[in-house]
């Protein structure tokens, strides 16, 4: 499994814990390897691949492409091929299916 492996083992993605701003920041920092404030190109591909592995263990290239399209369409993926911290938050909240701790 990719970069998110250790973080993903935490109960935060299973709904057993609250997703905090700190959790989101940790995930964003894992994937924004060039520290430019967005996840793009290979960073983005790696994030989406790791995310798919969390929800589907056996997948193929077609599954990955369909998953990418669905996730990116859902967050209003910008035309520059990047996702922002806010868009990442939307993805993680949808996955965790809960409001962030700070908004409760």
- Three-class SS string for 65-91? HHHHHHHHHHCCCCCCCEECHHHHHHH
- How far apart are the C-alpha atoms of 34 and 24, rounded to whole Å? 17
Verdict on whether the full-model pTM lies above 0.85: no
Query: Using one digit for the tens of pLDDT, what is the confidence trace for 3-32?
Result: 555 555 544 454 545 778 898 899 999 999
- How far apart are the C-alpha atoms of 54 and 14, rounded to whole Å? 10
According to the model, what pLDDT value does residue 29 have? Answer: 94
Predicted confidence (pLDDT) at residue 78 exceeds the cutoff of 70:
no
Predicted confidence (pLDDT) at residue 36 exceeds the cutoff of 90:
yes
Torsion sign, CA atoms 56, 62, 65, 67: negative
Which CATH number fits the domain that encloses residue 25?
Answer: 1.10.238.10
Classify residue 2: in a domain, yes or no: no
Range of the domain at 74: 8-97
Report the number of distinct structural domains present in the chain: 1
- How far apart are the C-alpha atoms of 81 and 72, rounded to whole Å? 10
Classify residue 81: in a domain, yes or no: yes
Residue 83 phi/psi, 5-degree rounding, is -120, 140
């Amino acid at each position: 499994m990719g970069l998110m492996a250790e973080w993903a083992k935490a109960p935060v993605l299973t709904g057993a814990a609250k997703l905090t701003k700190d959790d989101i920041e940790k995930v964003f920092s894992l994937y924004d390897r060039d520290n430019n404030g967005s996840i793009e190109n290979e960073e983005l591909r790696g994030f989406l691949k790791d995310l798919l592995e969390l929800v589907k263990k056996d997948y193929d290239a077609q599954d990955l492409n369909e998953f990418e399209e669905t996730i990116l369409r859902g967050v209003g993926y910008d035309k520059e091929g990047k996702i922002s911290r806010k868009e990442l938050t939307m993805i993680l909240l949808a996955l965790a299916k809960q409001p962030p701790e700070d908004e409760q």
